[in-house]
Structure 1
Amino acid sequence: MDWQRCYTGLTALLNAGNTLEDVQPGVTYRGDDIGRWVLRQTRDWTQLNAEQRRRLEELGVRPRAAAQGRKGAARGELKAGAGKGSQAFQRGVEALRQYIAREGKTTVGRQHVEELPDGTSVRLGVFLSNHKNRRDRLTEDQLTALANLGLDWA
C-alpha cells in the first residue's frame, strides 16, 4: 500500500508540471516524502519487482547509477542558469512567502511543514536549512529571491 501511495504521489507531482529533478528529498505529497521515496527506489532497484520497475521507468525513474548521472547534469544546469525557474525552489519560495504572510516572521522550526494551496507540502524548515547551508551553490536570482523575503544570510 505504501508503495502505491507514493507512486501515486510521484505521478501527481509529475503531472502537475514538476520534473524528476524537482522531486528531491523533502518534497512531499499528502504527507509522504516523495523525494526520499524516489531516492530509495533508485537505490534499491534490484529489490523491486518487474512491474514496479516498469512503472517507474515509464515515469523516467532509473536505477541509482543512471540517476546519479542525471543529478550531476541537473546540478550543472542549475548553476548555469535554470536557477530561479527550478520548480522545487519556486515551491519553497512560495511556501516561505505564505508562511511570512501568515506568521509575520522568517524564523521557521526545522520540522515545520507548510501546506500549499495545490495540495503539496513543503518541509519549510528543511528547505531553509538546506539552502542556507548550500548558499554558495545558489544562483544570484535565487539568492535575490530569498533576500527579498527578508533572509539576511542570502
Structure 2
Amino acid sequence: MVADWVSFNVIDTERQDWARGWAALKRFAEREHHARVPYGHREGAAPLGQWVAEQRGAYGAGQMTGQRAQRLERLGMVWCLADERFQENPEAAKVYYADHWALCAPRSAVVLSRPVGQWLSNLRRAGALGGRPEWEAALLAVDKDWKPLWSAERQRHYAALRELVADGEGRADVLPGFTVHGMDIGKWLARQRRPEVWQALAGGQRECLERVGITPLAAPAPVEQAAPAEPFTAPMSAFERGVAARWCSTGPARALWSFPGGMWRGSRPVTASTREYREYREYRVKLGVWVMNQKGRRAELTADKLAVLAALGLDWVREG
C-alpha cells in the first residue's frame, strides 16, 4: 500500500482523489470478487459507482494513462459492460441450443441463471448488433439460424422437426400429438403439409421443409356431381295415371316411390316432387272404375303390372 501511495504522488489533489477511488474499488473487489460496481453504489461515503463510470469514460476517450489503466485492470476493471454481459451469455446460449436445437428461445427462457431468452430477443432487434460483428459471428457459430426471417416460434417448431427426422424417427412417426418441449410438432407438421397452407409459405419456409424430406399432401380429388334426375317428359299412359291416383289416395304424397322389380318408367325407381303428385290428382281419374277395369283385365295384364297393382294393396291380384 505504501508503494502504491508513493507511486500516485499524493501531494497532487487530483491524484489523491483518484487514489481514494482506487482504494475503495480495491476493497469492493476483494469483498465481492469482481469490479462490476453498480452506478449508485457507495463504498462508505464515497460514490464508488459514479467514480468507476467516470474512469470508463476517461478510458474510452483516451484520457487515461496506461499506468492507471493497468492498476484498474489488475482489480478486475471491465471497460465495456456490454462486452462483459455478452461474454457471460453465450455459454448459457450454447446450453440452451444443446437442449432445444435452436437459439430462438422464448423471452422467458433462463439458463445457468442467465435470462438468455430476453437477451437473444434483444439482439434480434434491428440494429442491435451494429458495430459488433464479433458478437454476430459468435452467435452464428452456435446456430446459423439464430435470427430467422420468420417468427421465433416457427423456427422452434422447425428445429424440433429437423432433429426428429435427423434422428431417424421418420416423417410418418411425427403425427399429431407428438410433443417436444411442450410443442405439438405433429400437429404443426400436419398443418404445414395442407395444400392451401403449403402454397402460402414464403421466404424460404418451403425450402426448409423440403430439405428434411417434407412434401405437401396431395390435393383432394374434385367431387363429381351426380347427374340430375331426368324429368318426366313422356306422356303418362292410362295405366300410369291410374297408378298415380291410387298411390296418392292411399297416403300422403311422397318424394320417392318405386315398385317391385324397378320396371316402371325405364326400369328405374320413379321419383317425383310433391307438386307433380298434385298434378296427378288433377287427372281426375275415376279411381273406382279404373280399379274394376284392371280387375276385369287381370288375365291380360303383364307380370310387371300385376306386381305394381299388388304393391298398391289390391288384394284381388294375389287371390287370383
Structure showing greater relative contact order (alpha-carbon pairs closer than 8 Å, 6 or more residues apart): 1
- Normalised by the size of structure 1, how large is the TM-score? 0.43
- Normalised by the size of structure 2, how large is the TM-score? 0.23
Q: Which has the higher helix share?
A: 1
